[in-house]
Chains A and B, each alone.
Chain A
Amino acid sequence: MKLKQKRMLPPKVFSPALTALATLVAGIGVLAGTLRAAEYPTDKVNTTGLAVTDTEVVVGQLHSATGTMAISETGSIQAEQLAIEQINAMGGVLGRKIKIIVEDGASDWPTFAEKAKKLLVNDKVASVFGCWTSASRKAVLPVFEKENGMLYYPTFYEGLEQSKNVIYTGQEATQQIIAGLDWMAKEKKAKTFYLIGSDYIWPRTSAKIARKHIENVLKGTVVGEEFYALGHTQFGSLINKIKLKKPDVIYAIVVGGSNVSFYKQLNAAGITSDKWNLITISVTEDEVLGIGGDNLVGFYSAMKYFQSLDNPNNKVFVEAFKKKYGEKSVIGDVTQAAYLGPWLWKMTVEKAGSFDVDKIAAASAGIEFDKAPEGYVKVHPNHHLWSKLRIGQWQTDGQARVLYGSELIEPDPFPKGYQ
């Protein structure tokens, strides 16, 4: 039961002239679609037995609609569906309408692997838009490589990975972590850092990369490094330790539902932005919706996208998103990166002239998308995206004020000296 859902229905107008016009336009659209499809006969564009017909192509969506990650992944599900709806309204891909098969990973990594196999082997989808945590991606990676599928993965992550079968539309560590640390060190003259994260691969690897950068490049010190299980809610002892060690910067990599407890308890314990610096790489507008802007006000996030970004693409995107999902919806970094997935896939398929995974894997390098809400992105041969890093400061209304935007950063998932 959604307690607040105000939908504005369009006025009903059944005038004959309007109906005739609408039919004409629809007819032209259908004609255009079938003409395009005729240009690309199925046996030419699909030589590997994917679920492609003359009028339809099937793709898969694999996110956590339930469990502790639902708070974060729901936005990705919505963004991908919005993008696919918009693409279908424009005629689809190679004249074929996109049909989605939606699966729920339920915040459980073995379930992700199982559903991935089902989508690739049983449903033979042409592409999958999915995953959020690195744990879920690591669980499905062997499946995608064995069954030769293509995954569009939207989350900022630790890097140290590259696969022919994955396009990473989120930032990797050097783009997000390193640039963020540099900004903190310069702006706040920070020398000591306390690293806190959830206990799985992404926070641990990120902390390792952060530590190397802090110690070797910034010549600072890491005064504490701790990890707590996903879903953990009692941070009393940790907060006492933070007060004891008095770091210049708290570097938080807490993921999912735990964020709510963590920031509430920080706030209750008096750790607020007037006396403390906190930068996080795991809190977007989605998490702030659950945490409450008041608990986070003045803290920073390092992301490539914020809903408050001021550019024409973003205005159009935010408006379309709110129109479909309600005025109160929020859009975080991963949601936007998820939105890029279907568009990049469409452009790659059209460039390759085929749905075959091998062909689109080869055609991905160099694809440019200048209608991205974050601005402009380009796919690198290593299947990551050139993108900018922004630093946002959280306000009480749950939006971020963007304080800094970098130049386009080249993705480097295997940086020397950080492994």
Chain B
Amino acid sequence: MLAYTASELYSITLMQGFAGLSLFSVLLLMALGLAIIFGQMGVVNLAHGEFMALGAYTVYLCSEIVQNHLPALAPYYFIIAVVIAFFTAGLAGLLVEWSLIRFLYKRPLDTLLATWGLSLIMQQGFRLIFGGREVTPVLPGWLMGSFKPTDGIDIPINGVFVMGLTLLLTFGVWLFMYRSHMGLQMRSTVQNRVMSGAVGINTRLVDRFTFCLGCGIAGVAGAAFTTIGSTGPDSGSRYIVDTFLVVVFGGTASLIGTIASAFGIAQAQSILEFFLEGTAGKVAVLMGIIIVLMIRPQGLFPSKIRS
């Protein structure tokens, strides 16, 4: 080991901490939508990754339109594009729920198969419309580069953006679920569908809305990821495994669980990648998760429902 000055070590620790937080926000953003769908509704949505890709492609389309027809909008379009991605993915979720998912609520294994088929259809759809090559939207200038508080510290701006977005979204979801009327209806439907129907809650509508919300959040996640990497037709399949990992590890049906598990996995992976190498770090994290799940299969923070 080379000898480092105290300030270098301090900078490195700070940046490593930031890398961990960055990864945490990425995982949380991915998992939030799925936590709502899988956690709250028990629907195994294997097409969740494709909804993220849909959000990413929406941002790419907005970028292309702005580049070709509205160049004056170029510095501002990104935020608008993210919002559009939310609604696009949400609308797509609405369509999917209405045409496919609502027949399958009592059949979890069938939703697994159906959504997997849906993911294949969506992937091929992307391939047909956008081509097999990966694409990136043109990112606005304010998203590039980094903050340099001191000489040794470089905080990438897009990392901060993703973290900010995640914070906003998580807070928004919490506010919605625990402080709004619709959120109350959602939670009650999940806990006891029959009684909720009996007290006058339109459970069908609540289910539809929940699914849309989950897909919309996935769309925002995909839109945020365009700042980090490129988007291809099979980008969704790269996200889906980590997403399910986070949700199951945290305990389904639990927002706190999702947050805690995303944090734990992200920090563990970040630190282990630093000391071990590349793939070895990921292997170690996955082994750790397997061991924990074997001891505690219900996840970190299962919600205590009398069933």
**A interface list, Cβ under 8 A from B:** 1-4, 65-68, 70-71, 74, 199, 225-229, 231-234, 236-241, 243-245, 257-258, 260-261, 264-265, 267-270, 290, 292, 294
Inter-chain contacts of B134 with A (CB < 8 A): 68, 70-71, 257, 260, 290
Q: A66-B233, A199-B278, A227-B278 are in contact. Are A267 and B144 (CB under 8 A)?
A: yes
Closest residue of chain A to B13 (Cβ to Cβ) is: A240
Q: A240-B274, A257-B134, A268-B156 are in contact. Are A70 and B232 (CB under 8 A)?
A: yes
Inter-chain contacts of B158 with A (CB < 8 A): 264, 268
Nearest Cβ on chain B to A418's Cβ, whole angstroms:
23
Report whether B133 and A71 are in contact in the complex, using a CB–CB cutoff of 8 Å. yes
- Which of B20, B136, B157, B279 is the one whose CB lies under 8 Å from A227? B279
- Which of A65, A70, A238, A261 is the one whose CB lies under 8 Å from B278? A238
**B interface list, Cβ under 8 A from A:** 2, 4, 8, 12, 15-16, 18-20, 22-23, 26, 64, 68, 127, 129-136, 144-146, 148, 152, 154, 156-159, 228-230, 232-234, 238, 270-271, 273-274, 277-279, 281-282
Nearest Cβ on chain A to B81's Cβ, whole angstroms:
16
Q: A74-B133, A237-B273, A245-B2 are in contact. Are A260 and B154 (CB under 8 A)?
A: no
Report whether B229 and A233 are in contact in the complex, using a CB–CB cutoff of 8 Å. yes
Closest residue of chain B to A104 (Cβ to Cβ) is: B132
Nearest Cβ on chain A to B232's Cβ, whole angstroms:
6
Nearest Cβ on chain B to A247's Cβ, whole angstroms:
11
State the CA gap A292–B278 with chains docked (Å). 25
Nearest Cβ on chain A to B23's Cβ, whole angstroms:
6
Nearest Cβ on chain B to A125's Cβ, whole angstroms:
23
Inter-chain contacts of B20 with A (CB < 8 A): 236
Name the 4 nearest CB pairs between A and B, nearest first.
A236-B19, A268-B156, A270-B154, A261-B229
- Which of B131, B273, B281 is the one whose CB lies under 8 Å from A2? B131
Inter-chain contacts of A1 with B (CB < 8 A): 129-130
Nearest Cβ on chain A to B135's Cβ, whole angstroms:
8
Q: Which of B19, B144, B279 has the most CB of A within 10 A?
A: B19
State the CA gap A292–B156 with chains docked (Å). 17
Inter-chain contacts of A226 with B (CB < 8 A): 277-278
State the CA gap A331–B47 with chains docked (Å). 35
A-B contact sample (14 more), CB < 8 A, given A66-B234, A268-B144, A290-B230: A4-B68, A67-B232, A68-B232, A68-B234, A70-B133, A227-B278, A227-B279, A231-B238, A233-B228, A234-B228, A236-B19, A244-B8, A265-B156, A290-B136
Report whether A265 and B278 are in contact in the complex, using a CB–CB cutoff of 8 Å. no
Inter-chain contacts of A71 with B (CB < 8 A): 133-134, 230, 232
Report whether A67 and B234 are in contact in the complex, using a CB–CB cutoff of 8 Å. yes
Nearest Cβ on chain B to A327's Cβ, whole angstroms:
15
Closest residue of chain B to A295 (Cβ to Cβ) is: B144
Report whether B234 and A236 are in contact in the complex, using a CB–CB cutoff of 8 Å. no
- Which of B4, B133, B156, B282 is the one whose CB lies under 8 Å from A269? B156
Inter-chain contacts of A267 with B (CB < 8 A): 144-145
State the CA gap A3–B66 with chains docked (Å). 13
Inter-chain contacts of B159 with A (CB < 8 A): 236, 268
State the CA gap A243–B2 with chains docked (Å). 13
Q: A65-B132, A243-B12, A290-B134 are in contact. Are A270 and B148 (CB under 8 A)?
A: yes
Q: A67-B132, A199-B278 are in contact. Are A3 and B64 (CB under 8 A)?
A: yes
A-B pair count, CB < 8 Å, reads 120
Report whether B229 and A264 are in contact in the complex, using a CB–CB cutoff of 8 Å. yes
Report whether B146 and A227 are in contact in the complex, using a CB–CB cutoff of 8 Å. no
Q: A226-B277, A268-B146 are in contact. Are A257 and B232 (CB under 8 A)?
A: yes
Closest residue of chain A to B225 (Cβ to Cβ) is: A233
28 contacts between A and B (CB under 8 A): A67-B232, A68-B234, A71-B134, A199-B278, A227-B279, A228-B279, A229-B278, A229-B279, A231-B238, A233-B228, A234-B228, A236-B19, A236-B159, A236-B270, A237-B281, A239-B19, A257-B134, A260-B134, A260-B136, A261-B229, A261-B230, A264-B158, A268-B159, A269-B146, A269-B156, A270-B145, A290-B134, A290-B136
Nearest Cβ on chain B to A259's Cβ, whole angstroms:
9
Report whether B154 and A269 are in contact in the complex, using a CB–CB cutoff of 8 Å. yes
State the CA gap A188–B23 with chains docked (Å). 35
Nearest Cβ on chain B to A203's Cβ, whole angstroms:
11
State the CA gap A233–B134 with chains docked (Å). 13
Report whether A238 and B273 are in contact in the complex, using a CB–CB cutoff of 8 Å. yes
State the CA gap A64–B135 with chains docked (Å). 16
State the CA gap A232–B239 with chains docked (Å). 10
- Which of A231, A243, A261 is the one whose CB lies under 8 Å from B15? A243
State the CA gap A3–B157 with chains docked (Å). 30
- Which of B19, B22, B148, B228 is the one whose CB lies under 8 Å from A264? B228
Report whether A199 and B144 are in contact in the complex, using a CB–CB cutoff of 8 Å. no
Report whether A66 and B132 are in contact in the complex, using a CB–CB cutoff of 8 Å. yes
Closest residue of chain A to B273 (Cβ to Cβ) is: A237
State the CA gap A369–B19 with chains docked (Å). 51
Q: A74-B133, A270-B148 are in contact. Are A66 and B274 (CB under 8 A)?
A: no
State the CA gap A256–B7 with chains docked (Å). 36
Inter-chain contacts of A2 with B (CB < 8 A): 131
State the CA gap A238–B26 with chains docked (Å). 17
Report whether B229 and A228 are in contact in the complex, using a CB–CB cutoff of 8 Å. no
State the CA gap A400–B145 with chains docked (Å). 23
State the CA gap A1–B282 with chains docked (Å). 37
Nearest Cβ on chain A to B242's Cβ, whole angstroms:
10
Inter-chain contacts of B16 with A (CB < 8 A): 237, 240
Inter-chain contacts of B279 with A (CB < 8 A): 199, 227-229
Inter-chain contacts of A237 with B (CB < 8 A): 16, 19, 270-271, 273-274, 281
Nearest Cβ on chain A to B185's Cβ, whole angstroms:
37
State the CA gap A199–B278 with chains docked (Å). 9
Report whether A268 and B238 are in contact in the complex, using a CB–CB cutoff of 8 Å. no
Nearest Cβ on chain A to B52's Cβ, whole angstroms:
13
Closest residue of chain A to B26 (Cβ to Cβ) is: A234
Nearest Cβ on chain B to A363's Cβ, whole angstroms:
36
State the CA gap A134–B286 with chains docked (Å). 28
Q: A71-B134, A226-B278, A257-B230 are in contact. Are A270 and B146 (CB under 8 A)?
A: yes
Inter-chain contacts of B282 with A (CB < 8 A): 229
State the CA gap A268–B234 with chains docked (Å). 25
Inter-chain contacts of B238 with A (CB < 8 A): 231, 233
State the CA gap A70–B130 with chains docked (Å). 13
Report whether B278 and A240 are in contact in the complex, using a CB–CB cutoff of 8 Å. no
